[in-house]
Structure 1
Amino acid sequence: MRRNQEETNETIRKLIEVGRTHFTERGYADTALEDIVNEAEMTRGALYHHFGNKKGLFRVVFESVQKEIAERIETEAAASEDLWQQLLLGCRAFVAAAVEPRNKRILLLDGPAVLGWEMWRMTDEQNSMRLLHEQLQFMQRQGCFKPVTIEAMTHFISGALNESALWIAHHPEQRHALDDTMKVISLFMEGFKR
């Protein structure tokens, strides 16, 4: 029984890995399931069994990208002991990860179009936005902010980061655009300091 579960997990992992490569390189619309299953050395039946269809596979790939970015945010924010610096490092980590070639098309371009805005937002709320909210709540308890509603602040900053990521993703000089974005975010956050 254990061997069957290991084989199942390996099948799922392989399909997600190959699917991510195809969705990244070709986009959702130009990705063929036949190409994925051939490269993964699986059958269409295995893909349909575990994911239902192409959109189901894409949703799982999208969620895995969101989780990876959330892990990166936590890691990079933890590089500082200073709460403000943690916040800024986390914001930068999100935007930088979102515009990376292996994430950009899945997260920013195809994600909202294929899954719909509500699914996109729900997945964001469970990952990056959740981390932002937790950091802001902790900072508020430490007396870092002027009196503000953390819920509104979370949505405001998250929206700004998402829009900035879209802008940077299409900018010819992404590094420069990321630096400019972080300057604006830093100045914005200064206004909330107690």
Structure 2
Amino acid sequence: MPRASAADAAETARRILEVATAHFADRGFASASVDEIARTAGVTRGAVYHHYASKRGLFSAVAAAQQRGIADAIATATARSRPADALRDGSHAFLDAITREDAARILLVDGPAVLSWDDWRRMDAAGPEAELRAGLADAGVSAALVDAMTAALSGAMNELALWLSRHQADTGALAAAHEALDGLLDGIR
């Protein structure tokens, strides 16, 4: 049997990742099944393991893609922002992106447990945290406080995202979350 072309292999890996994202978001890591992911993606279990080595490896790829998507949303939201507005625009973009399509479950609930805290922190540091750190520096936060402010605001926004994920049926929750975020941002000098 002829080997798949590089384009075919990339398309298979993309399809597996797409299906796995939906499964992990819907069921969580523990309840997601590699067999079901493979079946839904129209591939064999062996194809999943060929591209991602393990269920954890597949989850890691899903989490990394989610982190990149959130960092991209922040960068897009701040691309045309005035320096004085970039931190606010990026923070609101983060909150919207992480609560869209169950990214909060993948990144904030299962992520630290499945990937290990250190791996999860490295992944976050390379994506959304880097955007936040730059935004704080651009907003005039002193270099001596950037690390502490990054940790404080990141933690607050992650908790706010988790709160939103538990209040999806509440039509006022998103507006309340954005108002609360503005209150936090107003306190940054």
Q: TM-score, normalised by structure 1?
A: 0.84
Give the CA deviation at 1:71.
0.6
CA deviation vs aligned residue, 1:125-168 (integer Å, no higher than 9, x gap) = 1100001111222333xxxx468521222122111111221222
Unaligned runs of 5+ in 2: none
Classify 1:147/1:44 alpha carbon distance in 2 versus 1 (closer, same or farther; 3 Å).
closer
Are the aligned partners of 2:34 and 2:55 in contact in 1 as well (CA < 8 Å)? yes
Task: Give the corresponding residue for 2:59.
Answer: 58
Task: Give the corresponding residue for 1:162.
Answer: 158
Are the aligned partners of 1:132 and 1:154 in contact in 2 as well (CA < 8 Å)? yes
Aligned length: 186
Give the CA deviation at 1:181.
3.6
Task: Give the corresponding residue for 1:183.
Answer: 179
Q: Structure 1 counterpart of 2:29, which letter?
A: Y
Q: Structure 2 counterpart of 1:125, which letter?
A: A
> Is the aligned partner of 1:85 residue 2:81?
no
Q: Which runs of 4+ in 1 moved over 6 A?
A: none
Identity of aligned residues (%): 36
Classify 1:146/1:110 alpha carbon distance in 2 versus 1 (closer, same or farther; 3 Å).
closer
Unaligned runs of 5+ in 1: none
Task: Give the corresponding residue for 1:47.
Answer: 48
SS at match of 1:68: helix
SS at match of 2:124: helix
Are the aligned partners of 1:24 and 1:103 in contact in 2 as well (CA < 8 Å)? yes
Q: TM-score, normalised by structure 2?
A: 0.86
